[in-house]
């Protein structure tokens, strides 16, 4: 079939108007200029000018000739059938496996499929992480893991010469791939819809509820900080999935690696963590449901610095066959300098905000609540809080000195001993501390950096307004404070940030006791607010305010956290911790089998600047004892390497040696990562109906329940599937060389003739 078409450069009315105008201009303006020529010559020139105009009009119309040809092409319907190991889960009707349910769905629709095969080709393809074309689908389901996205991409690329009319995906819909095989199924489905123009009809077999899967306990979604500090309580959160454990008590516990006698490259035994006042390493849970997920909160206190393996385990129950998913292991780094802070204060807003310091990995703040008013005498403070090494920093809030007298024991004497040994001490604003609280008559008078006298002590409900500023005070750094570590709350415009903070509501009247005391902050009208001093081995601070929590309430949470964190670090002499010259980092610490592990490392000098000309040697020690050297890629201040030999579960040790001019810069840096001993395919074999629905919807289809697959095939038969393709060939009659050549030739000939007659 041949047809003539025109696609004008403008709308038809505009093109018609332009054509009429062009012809009119030629007929009205050209004949008067050549009226003196002989008739034959006159007609020839006018005809050539009109022909040129007609060619222009022709080009404006952009005419073309279309040739339509009907061609028959083989049409293909692809049936993708999941054969991964999760398809052996017996959660189908009557307890059959998912693979058996898949075969049953096909067998029940055998007549429709045979009738459909008379018009189109039906390709049956098994899959797990790749495609396996088959003529006879079998009951075997032995695929290692499911890679739906990769499989859909492979289907899109195969048989590009054939017309793909649709894809039927029969699966439990759970993507369980790692590494390069982990392709997003939604994105792969979208590419099929855009490039091949077909729909993916999903048929879900299996259920997301595994109540029929027998007894199975598993640990999932473990959350723990990868870095912590000595003596700090470290929380551990996890989800425990219980299947078939209704009415039974389940024990969940933490295990920590015992590295006694172990050298680098050797793994230690995992042992139970004992209970303590600061740690909860074990919990018992119970459910009345047959399938549920329960959150569990545990904690532990690391006693020594180093890198350790930590495991959270749900203890197997009698009759549980699959136990490799009962434990999740990870690595934590315990650093020296973990700070424990004992904080004594009444119930007030400042105390509540200071507790947020526990969100940092380096500080553990224990609030010893002191009762206020008449009940204050009932407060019992544990003398163990003042034992040597118990705490690194002590903070006293609005608490009188009398609270620290336990019978005949003065606990402030023990606190003074701790300060002499180097513990940090701070006292913050209040009505019943400093001189008013009786501290001028205690040993702490020698250490706190402000003037106090025993005669200042107030008793009972006495209040002395002269000892307090009861107006708003804008806290700003002094000249010394601007240079002090404690007052650095912003990397740029530090002073402006201080002036932007909400003002304090008031403060205790304090005065430095000697010239050795630094006043680091004051109000904008000169009221001293923050005093700091070194006294022997210790550092001490007196802070006249008690309402920095207002910063937090007005959106300066980070500033509040930074100020108090720096105050505690300074008190504990921890503001300048140094790092090793050679370092290596592997993040995350846990990987699935087959994953690629990124390794980042480098070297730095004493000023912590990268050593650009350092040469690196990187080795990985596998669980089997093999050493594998990696290729190093330089990337500026950091160097990179990648390790892909992670098939075997267990501990892997990375060693990085840095050389400069052939000599080692320092001892090698080491890091460890874990390849989980988990079975991605079977640890949690629940089906994923949501993913199957998304795959169908992005291609314009709807998911099909197994019982409706036959109805779907009937609809295909009723509608019919055309195997004819209309091929269209278009030849443009304006965008070619001869049209341009004819136009140029006409203009050139006309110009030549007019030149001969002296008209040019």
pLDDT tens by residue, 587-614: 888 888 888 899 999 998 876 788 888 8
Question: Over pLDDT 90: what percentage of the chain?
Answer: 46
Q: What is the pLDDT of residues 535-555, one digit of tens each?
A: 888 999 999 998 999 998 999
Sign for the CA dihedral angle at 574, 578, 580, 585 comes to positive
pLDDT band at 284 (very low <50, low <70, confident <90, very high): very high
| Residue 452 or residue 681, greater confidence | 452
- Answer whether 360's CB lies under 8 Å from 254's CB: no
pLDDT at 461 over 80: no
pLDDT at 721 over 70: no
Give the mean pLDDT of 641-654. Answer: 91
What is the reported pLDDT for 578?
44
What is the reported pLDDT for 26?
85
pLDDT at 83 over 60: yes
Q: What is the pLDDT of residues 148-169, one digit of tens each?
A: 999 999 999 886 667 788 999 9
- CA atoms of 479 and 398, how far apart (whole Å): 29
What is the reported pLDDT for 69?
64
H helix runs in 441-546, sequence order: 479-482, 494-500
Give the mean pLDDT of 263-292. Answer: 86
Give the mean pLDDT of 566-572. Answer: 91
- CA atoms of 390 and 376, how far apart (whole Å): 24
The pair of three-digit structure tokens given for residue 567, joined into one six-digit string: 């105050």
pLDDT at 495 over 80: yes
| Residue 149 or residue 679, greater confidence | 149
What is the reported pLDDT for 160?
60
CA–CA distance from 364 to each of 225, 387, 416, 489 (Å)? 14, 17, 21, 21
Sign for the CA dihedral angle at 384, 388, 392, 394 comes to positive
- CA atoms of 675 and 680, how far apart (whole Å): 12
Q: What is the DSSP letter of 538?
A: E
Q: What is the DSSP letter of 758?
A: T
pLDDT band at 726 (very low <50, low <70, confident <90, very high): low
pLDDT at 199 over 80: yes
Spatial neighbors of 126 by CB under 8 A, at least 6 apart, are 81, 82, 83, 132, 133, 134, 137, 143
H or E element in which residue 117 lies:
helix 110-117
pLDDT at 527 over 70: yes
H helix runs in 196-317, sequence order: none
pLDDT at 263 over 60: yes
Q: What is the pLDDT of residues 464-476, one digit of tens each?
A: 888 999 999 999 9
Give the mean pLDDT of 492-510. Answer: 91
Peptide bond into 387 cis (omega under 30): no
What is the reported pLDDT for 249?
93
Query: What SS3 state is found at 509?
Result: coil
Give the mean pLDDT of 574-589. Answer: 75
Peptide bond into 398 cis (omega under 30): no
- CA atoms of 558 and 570, how far apart (whole Å): 18
């Amino acid at each position: 079939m041949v047809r003539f078409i025109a696609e004008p450069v403008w709308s038809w009315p505009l093109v018609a108007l332009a054509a009429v105008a062009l012809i009119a201009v030629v007929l009205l303006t050209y004949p008067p200029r050549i009226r003196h020529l002989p008739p034959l010559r006159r007609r020839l020139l006018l005809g050539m000018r009109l022909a040129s105009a007609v060619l222009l009009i022709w080009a404006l119309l952009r005419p073309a000739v279309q040739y339509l040809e009907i061609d028959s092409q083989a049409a293909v319907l692809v049936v993708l059938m999941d054969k991964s190991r999760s398809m052996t889960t017996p959660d189908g009707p009557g307890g059959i496996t998912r693979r058996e349910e898949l075969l049953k769905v096909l067998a029940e629709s055998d007549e429709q499929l045979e009738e459909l095969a008379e018009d189109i080709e039906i390709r049956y393809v098994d899959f797990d992480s790749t495609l396996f074309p088959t003529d006879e689908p079998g009951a075997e389901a032995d695929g290692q893991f499911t890679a739906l996205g990769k499989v859909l991409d492979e289907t899109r690329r195969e048989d590009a010469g054939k017309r793909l009319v649709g894809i039927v995906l029969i699966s439990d819909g759970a993507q369980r791939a790692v590494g390069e095989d982990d392709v997003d199924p939604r994105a792969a489905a979208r590419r099929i819809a855009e490039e091949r123009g077909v729909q993916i009809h999903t048929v879900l077999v299996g259920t997301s509820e595994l109540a029929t899967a027998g007894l199975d306990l598993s640990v999932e979604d473990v959350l723990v900080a990868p870095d912590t500090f000595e003596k700090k309580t470290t929380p551990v959160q996890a989800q425990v999935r219980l299947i078939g454990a209704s009415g039974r008590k389940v024990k969940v516990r933490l295990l920590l690696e015992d590295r006694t006698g172990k050298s680098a490259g050797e793994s230690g035994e995992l042992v139970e963590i004992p209970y303590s006042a600061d740690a909860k390493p074990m919990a018992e849970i119970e459910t009345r449901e047959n399938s549920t997920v329960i959150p569990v909160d545990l904690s532990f206190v690391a006693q020594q610095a180093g890198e350790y393996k930590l495991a959270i385990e749900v203890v197997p129950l009698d009759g549980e066959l699959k136990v490799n998913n009962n434990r999740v292991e990870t690595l934590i780094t315990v650093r020296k300098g973990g700070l424990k802070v004992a904080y004594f204060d009444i119930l007030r807003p400042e105390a509540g905000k200071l507790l947020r310091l526990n969100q940092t990995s380096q500080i553990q703040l224990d609030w010893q609540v002191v009762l206020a008013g008449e009940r204050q005498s009932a407060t019992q403070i544990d003398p163990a809080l003042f034992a040597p090494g118990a705490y690194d920093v002590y903070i006293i809030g609005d608490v009188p000195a009398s609270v620290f007298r336990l019978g005949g024991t003065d606990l402030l004497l023990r606190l003074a001993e701790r300060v002499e040994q180097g513990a940090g001490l701070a006292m913050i604003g209040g009505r019943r501390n400093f001189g008013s609280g009786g501290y001028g008559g205690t040993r702490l008078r020698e250490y706190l950096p402000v003037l106090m006298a025993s005669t200042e002590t107030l008793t009972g409900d006495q209040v002395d307004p002269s000892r307090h500023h009861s107006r708003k005070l804008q806290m700003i750094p002094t000249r010394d404070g601007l240079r002090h570590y404690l007052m650095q709350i912003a990397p740029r415009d530090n002073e402006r940030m201080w002036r932007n903070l909400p003002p304090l509501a008031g403060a205790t009247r304090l005065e430095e006791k000697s010239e050795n005391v630094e006043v680091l902050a004051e109000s904008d009208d000169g009221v001293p607010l923050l005093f700091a001093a070194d006294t022997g081995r210790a550092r001490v601070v007196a802070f006249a305010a008690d309402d920095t929590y207002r910063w937090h309430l007005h959106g300066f949470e980070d500033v509040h956290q930074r100020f108090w964190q720096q105050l505690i670090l300074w008190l504990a002499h921890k503001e300048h911790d140094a790092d090793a010259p050679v370092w290596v980092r592997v993040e995350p610490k846990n990987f699935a089998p087959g994953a690629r592990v990124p390794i980042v490392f480098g070297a730095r000098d004493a000023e912590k600047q990268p050593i650009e000309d350092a040469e690196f040697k990187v080795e990985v020690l596998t669980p089997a004892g093999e050493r594998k050297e990696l290729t190093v890629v330089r990337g500026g201040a950091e160097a990179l390497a990648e390790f892909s030999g992670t098939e075997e579960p267990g501990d892997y040790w990375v060693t990085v040696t840095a050389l400069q001019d052939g000599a080692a810069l320092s001892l090698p840096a080491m890091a460890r990562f874990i390849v989980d001993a988990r079975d991605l395919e079977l640890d949690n074999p629940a089906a994923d109906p949501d993913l199957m629905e998304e795959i169908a919807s992005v291609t314009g289809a709807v998911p099909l329940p197994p019982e409706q697959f036959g109805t779907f095939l009937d609809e295909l038969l009723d509608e019919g599937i055309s195997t004819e393709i209309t091929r269209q060939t278009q030849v443009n009659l304006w965008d070619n060389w001869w049209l341009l050549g004819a136009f140029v030739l006409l203009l050139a000939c006309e110009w030549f003739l007019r030149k001969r007659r002296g008209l040019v």
